[in-house]
A = this chain, B = another copy of it.
């Protein structure tokens, strides 16, 4: 139910980290790219082959110590449908290694269109009597600007298929306040209002650990808001971007956790994917470096929050 599977992975590995898989071609070692472009030419097929090899090596290197991966849809769409096939193949591969998959798509729409996104990313698609998983992630990031009509179509799938969503509440970027921090006449800010809607949307989907299937994205770069929202949204599990490259540290993200060390998962994308740059390692050792960084990050987080669960 809800994020219970994710939470169990986190407790088992004593690691509240999700590794972002945002494979720009720039991050892929030359040796992989040369091989793939030699085989497929300078094409999107060549790019796709290189990205998948990069992702597989990262997943192999991380899957026994990192509970979840978060592929960012934009970096796959950038390489056309061939890139989107890599998203699909990456999800299958990471699932086969036992990882929990959060597709970061920030999808949003209403009614039957949102049902289509829900079927695409979390559910199944009816094809002439067959039911086929199109992408098959465990969770999806979504944008709640359209209100309940944009969220409700996801809740049935969350319940029936044991899936979850993360709604953008307070994002990690510098300009997030332009809308999200605006004060409403009720004295709440826009992000607080969005957070309350998350609690409301999730209220019938609370799992064994007290967290619902409707989580929230709250940035590591706003530690005070993290703390405030952790208190106000006791059933909302947080996906926390902004650690590392964007400036958030372990003391900042500590605020995202409850007293059991539960309630949040911290994302690192470039910090893990490009770790070889900071470790005096060759780029061909990117997967070893990624693992080193994942161990360092795990130890730093657990040092700040204590034993989990």
Contacts and interface: CB of A to CB of B under 8 A. Distances in A.
A24 interface: yes
A117 B22 CA distance: 12
A208 interface: no
Interface of A: 22, 24-25, 33, 37, 42-44, 46-47, 72, 74-75, 77-81, 83-85, 87-88, 106-114, 116-117, 119-121, 125-130, 132, 134-135, 143-150, 168, 171-180, 182-186, 190, 193-194, 197
Contacts of A74: 107, 109, 113-114, 116-117, 120
A193 B24 CA distance: 34
A44 to B, nearest CB: 6
Contacts of A135: 77, 80
A189 to B, nearest CB: 10
B132 A180 contact: no
Contact of A77 (B78, B126, B134, B178): B134
A129 to B, nearest CB: 6
Nearest to A151: B175
Contact of A173 (B79, B146, B176, B184): B146
A190 B193 CA distance: 12
A9 to B, nearest CB: 25
A301 B77 CA distance: 36
A85 B84 CA distance: 9
B190 A130 contact: no
25 contacts: A24-B112, A25-B126, A42-B127, A72-B116, A74-B107, A74-B116, A74-B117, A74-B120, A75-B113, A77-B134, A80-B134, A81-B84, A81-B87, A81-B88, A106-B143, A145-B179, A146-B171, A147-B175, A149-B173, A150-B175, A178-B197, A179-B194, A179-B197, A183-B184, A184-B184
